[in-house]
Chain A
Amino acid sequence: AQSVTQLDSQVPVFEEAPVELRCNYSSSVSVYLFWYVQYPNQGLQLLLKYLSGSTLVKGINGFEAEFNKSQTSFHLRKPSVHISDTAEYFCAVKRGGSQGNLIFGKGTKLSVKP
């Protein structure tokens, strides 16, 4: 079975500073990895996903994530955040090569302060 751990429940950061949101997963098989963002009172929106190939994945809104198989991590980064990036971010895993549901981490609330 797969599981996802998001190490930080809340991350406060100042505007224009860099940010890293950490995600570790546990799986004995190959996986697909995803980052979703949830703005207040909205559904989840896909930021980026890793399926295979290059370990550095670029997504929307200037975010990127790096898949590290040896450390079973998929950390999300942005070099300079904006106030509008304030939201909750969810890391998710899915068994590679098969259909089925996502398994989510508990989420990280990113709060960008002016």
Chain B
Amino acid sequence: GAGVSQSPSNKVTEKGKDVELRCDPISGHTALYWYRQSLGQGLEFLIYFQGNSAPDKSGLPSDRFSAERTGGSVSTLTIQRTQQEDSAVYLCASSLAVIGGADTQYFGPGTRLTVL
């Protein structure tokens, strides 16, 4: 079946512009995660959606970052007033949440963001 898809695959923007990154999770997966992968910081958690619960935003690095998940499916990560330090690969993952938390997260191919 189809895996997690992300768009665009690459995004180049100028400092100060806003960007939107999209994630389509695996159909039926109730949990959705955003991570950021950068050379200096490795893989960092950003935000987590689970069903209709309030999202866990504890990993968002600043208030310039926000995300939403519409209809329990597609998610959009928005970065406002981009800075050069926002340059990274943004990875989305989804999982079928199970009791006890023993679910497996499936990752998309990522969006490579370059801020000039």
Contacts and interface: CB of A to CB of B under 8 A. Distances in A.
A pairs with B:
yes
Tell me if A's interface is mostly helix, strand, loop or mixed.
Answer: loop
A42 interface: yes
A100 to B, nearest CB: 6
Contacts of B4: 43
Nearest to A104: B43
Interface of B: 4, 31, 33, 35, 42-45, 48, 50, 56, 59, 91, 93, 97, 100-110
Interface residues of A, number: 25
Nearest to A96: B101
22 contacts: A41-B109, A42-B109, A43-B4, A43-B107, A43-B108, A43-B109, A43-B110, A44-B93, A46-B106, A49-B104, A90-B43, A94-B101, A97-B101, A99-B97, A99-B101, A100-B56, A100-B101, A101-B33, A101-B56, A101-B59, A102-B45, A104-B44
A43 B45 contact: no
A23 to B, nearest CB: 13
A27 to B, nearest CB: 14
Interface of A: 32, 36, 41-46, 49, 51, 90, 94-107
A46 B101 CA distance: 16
A95 B101 contact: yes
Contacts of A36: 107
Contacts of B56: 100-101
Nearest to B92: A43
A44 B105 CA distance: 9
